[in-house]
Structure 1
Amino acid sequence: MKSLISTLAVIATLLFTIHLKAQEKQATKSLLWEISGKGLTNPSYIYGTIHMMCEPDFNIKDKTKKAFEKAEELVMELNFTDPAEIAELQKSMTSPIPLSKKLSPAQYKLLDSVLALKTGIPLKTMDQLTLTALSSFVITKTLPCTEIKSYEFEFANLAKKQQKPFGALETVKQQTEYFSNAFTDDMLVEQIANFDDYKSVFVEMIETYKAEDLNRLDKILKDKRFGSTKESDKWMLQIRNANWAKQIPEMMRNKSCFFAVGAGHLPGKKGILSLLKAQGYTVKPILN
């Protein structure tokens, strides 16, 4: 159980950005962008990740490896190498109130049937998990594979090999608060119940991501089956982007950083790319 909670804790904090909507089209197809100008001695880089992918689809392109090697520090949404942060994630995935008491009888029956049918696991074995953790587990099962890769984990491994330090844009406690404000229990129950809808759109989303097409990815993420709302966008996208856009300049002031965040955070008027441009930085795509 402890191992499951640990895995779900990491997945949970990564997954919810796939529900978020970008609000402005980007004409250039690239997931990797260079940040320069405004007195920076060396450029930094920002890469849009997708938080889970089947191993056969996973690929870190040469252009991304080159940019990563040039950077002096890796900065992600959270620092998954910090034992204290991982412990806090694990803690946030368990609830003092079991799901059998938290959910209505109808909700419990619905989720139990979804889990049994789609995963073969009865809900009672996950009774102490939060709905966030349960949703994370179910979403991972929508992928047509058992070997799942994560860009965040791979970048962390590369940083260790290259002896690069780690940085983070927020803490687990901050992110947990954003989740709590963004998603109600009813919303999470609906997300879990929409298993087939997630599964049907995942293939298209993966192919679009592999093509580095932020414009098309934007449209897919706006699909009503992902359940995004103005309130969830506010807490999970807009507020976080604004906070990050304040931190990023200070982080890269005296060193080159490689920022890895969910791709949904990049485009749009309130996206990271536009916010950095508004501060006077030159932000351009790296195509090859």
Structure 2
Amino acid sequence: MKNLFCTLLLIATLIFTVNIKAQQKQSAKSLLWEVSGNGLTKPSYIYGTIHMICEPDFLISDKTKSAMTSADNLVLELNFTDPSEITELQKSIMSAIPLSKKLSPSQFNRLDSVLTLKTGTSLKKLDQLTLAAITSFAIAKTLPCSEIKSYEVEFINFAKAQNKTIGALETVKQQTEFFAKAFSDDELVRQITSFDDYKTVFSEMISTYKMEDLDKVSEMLKDKRWGNTEESNKWMLQVRNANWANHMPAMMKNQSCFFAVGCGHLPGKDGILQLLKNQGYKVKPILK
């Protein structure tokens, strides 16, 4: 059970990081971008993922495989291969106070009704989990399939097969702290009870993602049904993107890195593509 919800918590990263405003257009449709110049000995790559997708919709293009092969390292948001990080992740999904005591009776009953109706699982069975973990569980249930694929898992398998080093842009503890600052319990309750809205917009998002259209992704992510707030945008995107853009130069200085992060982190004036351009790097889409 814990391992299941660890996976679902990671999946929720995309949902919690889509509070982005399309303030700056990208010039081409691509999920894969090359970073070069500014003293780099070899180019590095940035790939925008969607953290969960039905197997029939899943695709790793030849251009992406080529970039991964040429890179020395794989860098994800979190290092899912580090045992200490997995242990920390397991701890992070467990609530210090049971939800039956943390939430008001009306909140608990409302959530229980929604989860039972939409997922077939009572909140009573999830009482020891955090609201973030339960949100992840609910979101995963919006997909119209039983076989769910993860780009991060596939990239890890690819990297291991080629004996590449696997690293991360942040720790589980840092990410958990950002979640806590970004979303109140009331906001998470509203997100969970908006099950049908999520089902609709997430289906639309997957279709747009498959088109590799970051401009349209940015436009879609302004949809109020995602539960966007200025505070969540600050902590889940602006602060994290700035942190990552500050860490990335040292990571790719002497070795080529393949960075794989949620696609919502790439576009816009606060996106990592523009932040790296601001530092003097040449950032261009890989189209073929």
The TM-score with structure 2 as length reference comes to: 0.97
Classify 1:160/1:15 alpha carbon distance in 2 versus 1 (closer, same or farther; 3 Å). Answer: farther
Instruction: Name the CA distance, whole Å, in 2 between partners of 1:13 and 1:191.
Output: 14
- 1:81-96 to 2 correspondences below 5 Å: 81-96=81-96
2-side partners of 1:210 and 1:3: how far apart?
Answer: 28
- Mapped to 1, the partners of 2:172 and 2:64 lie a distance apart of 27
The separation in 1 between residues aligned to 2:7 and 2:104, in whole angstroms, is: 27
1:2-81 to 2 correspondences below 5 Å: 2-81=2-81
Distance 1:83 1:22 in 2: 37
Contact 1:10 1:89 in 2 (8 A): no
**8 Å CA contact 2:45, 2:257 repeated in 1:** yes
Check conservation: 1:20, 1:237, Cα contact below 8 A.
Answer: yes
| Partner Cα separation in structure 2 for residue 37 and residue 63 of structure 1 | 20
Aligned pairs (5 A) from 1:22-171: 22-171=22-171
Gap regions ≥5 residues in structure 2: none
Aligned-partner Cα distance in 2 for 1:79–1:283: 25
Deviation at 1:25, TM superposition (A): 2.2
Q: CA deviation at 1:21?
A: 4.2
For 1:3 and 1:276, the matched residues in 2 are separated by: 35
User: Is 1:185 the equivalent of 2:185?
Assistant: yes
Structure 2 distance, partners of 1:14, 1:88, is: 20
Structure 2: distance between partners of 1:90 and 1:15: 19
Deviations 1:130-157 (A, max 9, x none): 0000000000000001111111111011
Alpha-carbon offset, residue 41 of structure 1: 1.2
Deviations 1:157-211 (A, max 9, x none): 1111111001110001111110000000000000000000011112211111000
CA distance in 1, matches of 2:274, 2:10: 28
- Structure-1 residue corresponding to 2:250: 250
Partner of 1:271: 271
Q: Distance in 1 between matches of 2:101 and 2:20?
A: 30
Deviation at 1:12, TM superposition (A): 3.8
Letter of the 1:63 partner, please give it. Answer: K
Q: CA deviation at 1:105?
A: 1.0
TM-score by length of 1: 0.97
Deviations 1:3-61 (A, max 9, x none): 33333343344542244445322231111000000111110000011111000000000
Q: CA RMSD in A?
A: 1.2
Extract unaligned runs of 5+ from structure 1. Answer: none
Q: Counterparts of 1:210 and 1:14 in 2: how far apart (Å)? A: 15
Which has the larger displacement, 11-20 or 158-167? 11-20
Aligned residues: 288
* Partner of residue 260, structure 1: 260
- 1:274/1:6 Cα in 2 relative to 1: closer, same or farther (>3 Å)? closer
Distance 1:97 1:147 in 2: 33
Aligned mates of 1:6, 1:276 — CA distance in 2: 31
Q: Which amino acid aligns with 2:135?
A: S
Once the two structures are superposed, the pairs formed by residues 168-247 of structure 1 within 5 Å of their partners are: 168-247=168-247
Is contact 1:31–1:263 with CA below 8 Å preserved after alignment? yes
Distance in 1 (CA, whole Å) between partners of 2:14 and 2:264 is: 12
Instruction: Return the letter of the residue paired with 2:232.
Output: S
1:263 to partner: Cα distance? 0.6
Rate the CA distance shift 1:123–1:34 in 2: closer, same or farther, 3 A: same
